[in-house]
Amino acid sequence: MTNQKHDFPWVTIEDLAPDARFSLRVGEAGRDRAGLTLGLSLPTGVSNVVRHGERAVVCLGPDEWLVTAPEGERDAIVEAFATIYDQTPHSLVEISDRELTYRITGPAAFTLMTIGCPRDLSRLTPGRAVRTVFDGATVILWRDAEDAFRLDVWRSFAPHVRDLLDTGRAELAAGL
């Protein structure tokens, strides 16, 4: 399913290439050191995102972050965190194979996302991300721009979510 692109004039759904993904848990005392290890400052405040180059980190809770990076950086991140563990206890769990990512863009992207997400998406401003549900499946929803979203979906739920997105896109196309 990687890099497939399905275009309609109003919305595009694209399967993105895999990223390295990590669930990072670290206490407040170790937050700065963990950020330095990643080459950025860990965001504070749920839904806040910090980017540096192709790395992105979203705060999912008071001591929980999702880290994404190019696949080629996976081993370097694991090794860097291994070197700081004695001074900065933390949990870094690789979850790269757990999820797939869809990019949804276009003038009808916002409307399509509201089909399966119960959140008030107008409150999710560009540059932020949240853990939420999409038709019952737990997802991380990134809002990259007014008309651009990314949806990280557990692999086992991906076919269901993709079918719902495709159905919604067809319904939007028929109604526009």
Mean pLDDT of 60-86: 97
CA gap 21, 56 in Å, rounded: 10
Residue 10 has a pLDDT of 86
Mean pLDDT of 141-156: 97
Mean pLDDT of 3-19: 78
CATH of domain 5-17+98-175: 3.30.1360.120
Residue 8 has a pLDDT of 57
Task: Check whether 71 has a pLDDT greater than 50.
Answer: yes
Angle between helices 158-175 and 109-116 in degrees, nearest 10: 130
CB 147 within 8 A of CB 105: yes
CA gap 157, 139 in Å, rounded: 9
Residue 1 has a pLDDT of 42
Q: Which residue do the tokens 């972050």 mark?
A: 65
Is residue 55 within a helix (H) or strand (E), and if so which, with residue range?
A: strand 55-61
Mean pLDDT of 99-110: 96
What percent helix, strand, coil does the chain show, rounded to 5? 30, 40, 30
User: Can you read off the two tokens belonging to residue 55?
Assistant: 């790395």
Residue 24 has a pLDDT of 98
Residue 3 has a pLDDT of 47
Task: Check whether 2 has a pLDDT greater than 50.
Answer: no
Residue 137 has a pLDDT of 96
DSSP string, 72-138: GGHHHHHHHHHHHTTTS-EEEEE-GGGEEEEEEESTTHHHHHHHH--S-GGGS-TTEEEEEEETTEE
Sketch the domain layout of the chain as residue ranges: 5-17+98-175, 20-96
Task: Check whether 13 has a pLDDT greater than 70.
Answer: yes
Tell me the CATH class for 20-96: alpha beta
Task: Check whether 6 has a pLDDT greater than 80.
Answer: no
